Amino acid sequence: MRKAMGLLLVAATVGCGQQVVGSVATATRSASVDVTAQAAREIVVMVDPAAAAQASRTVKAMGAAVTRTFRLKSEVQVVRIPDGVDRDLFLARLRQQPGVKSAVLQRVYRAIPVVQEAELAREVGALISINDPSFSKQWAYGRTGTPANWEGIDASGTLVAVADTGVDAAHPDLGGRVRSGQNFAGGTGTGDKVGHGTHCAGIIGATGNNSQGIAGIVWNAPILAIKVLGDNGSGTTEGVAQGMKSAADAGAKVLNMSLGSDTTEIDPVMHDALEYCLAKGTIVICAAGNNGRFVGSPANDPLAIAVSSTSDGMFGGEKISGFSSRGKQVWVSAPGGGIMSTLPTTGSQMGTTYGKASGTSMACPFVAGTATMMRAAHPDWSVAQVRDALKASTDDLGTPGFDELYGHGRVNLAKASR
């Protein structure tokens, strides 16, 4: 059997055995910057806006400097700690200053290949008349069903954002619908040399019934590409948070976040960014992780929609993927094992034009596409209403009722489209 390689975004451990969240390198950084080394001496501080100036003066008096700032609900300051200054003592002192809400180490996120699943020969069969040549390889639709009146779904006015390694805007199956957002990962542009972001975008919105490639869930939705992970698959908390803000400010109704960190701690910066998104009406869908155990940040935040992954077994049917993270934070599950989707047409680390990958990174956009379909049909719905509708449109797999593997169940597209 051939093997399909998927990607999981995990936080690197930087210094003192602590998980350091990587903020995506900001747009002002050089593409050649080693974000891992840089993050080891950076702190992300959230302060009350009214106390921002005083906080900057305090940092300077402590022998450090505020190198970059941006605004969420709080003011966020990125502080560079000089070499020779004890990082832990600096953190402890900074956290005691008036107006400082939190001070945490900058974490580094990486996209690395960690999942190998046997590729099954099972195909969808004639569920519906779709002329895309690889539609039969999209096993997920055989389990979740397909939307009623699929071709009639009009999501042209519902913007969905993909915060990832970028998206190939020239891919023919994305129909010229990719909008170039901002780059918070260093360098310029939102092209995708890794392939991860383009793969996620195709699951959400590859054009269906166009006689090429695959069928995504919403065929005419505009896709906003926001680059928060660089061409080496790395990014930082700072950049991811800024990417979330830019998606909300652009009017995205849904934000796909197929990224995460291998830590159980809720990140205060991510929480503030999630609050910002929700206040703007943007629902945020996050991959639960691929460690086979706990849900990492930002999916572990109660404001996020955490998605676990299912796989189609050769024997025993669909079940939780062995690699999938699980826990009480999981809201819903979706197909994530051996998923066929788009890849950059000029080549990438994951392949060229089309290919299969496995991970909660693939399950996440399945839910994001479902949420986009819902928001297109019900533009007046609040984030809370979409969240509840996702819960109600599931098939209950595993233990009856809520469980830590599937959450409230695996999404069912046929139900969700009613």
Distance separating alpha carbons of residues 149 and 373, to the nearest angstrom: 12
Instruction: Respond yes or no: is residue 196 known to be catalytic.
Output: yes
Instruction: Respond yes or no: is residue 361 known to be catalytic.
Output: yes
Dihedral pair phi/psi, residue 62, rounded to 5°: -85, 5
Instruction: Respond yes or no: is residue 164 known to be catalytic.
Output: yes
Residues 132, 208 contacting (CB under 8 angstroms): yes
Residue tagged 């702190």 (tokens): 43
Distance separating alpha carbons of residues 259 and 111, to the nearest angstrom: 8
Catalytic residue among 56, 171, 192, 196: 196
Distance separating alpha carbons of residues 247 and 184, to the nearest angstrom: 12
Residue 194 CA, distance from chain mean position: 15
Instruction: Please give the DSSP secondary-structure letter assigned to residue 50.
Output: G
Q: Which H helix or E strand runs over 116?
A: strand 108-118
Residue tagged 């092209």 (tokens): 191
- Cα separations in angstroms, 152 against 148, 155, 205, 373, 409: 9, 9, 14, 11, 27
Q: Determine the length of the chain.
A: 418
Contacts for 370 with CB less than 8 Å, ≥ 6 apart: 217, 334, 390, 393, 411, 413, 416
Q: What is the DSSP string of 338-398?
A: SEEEE--TT--TT-SSEEEE-SHHHHHHHHHHHHHHHHHH-TT--HHHHHHHHHHTEE--S
Residue 71 CA, distance from chain mean position: 21
Catalytic residue among 56, 132, 164, 325: 164
Catalytic residue among 74, 258, 261, 361: 361
Angle at 182 between CA 178 and CA 183, to 5 degrees: 110
Q: Which residues are catalytic?
A: 164, 196, 361
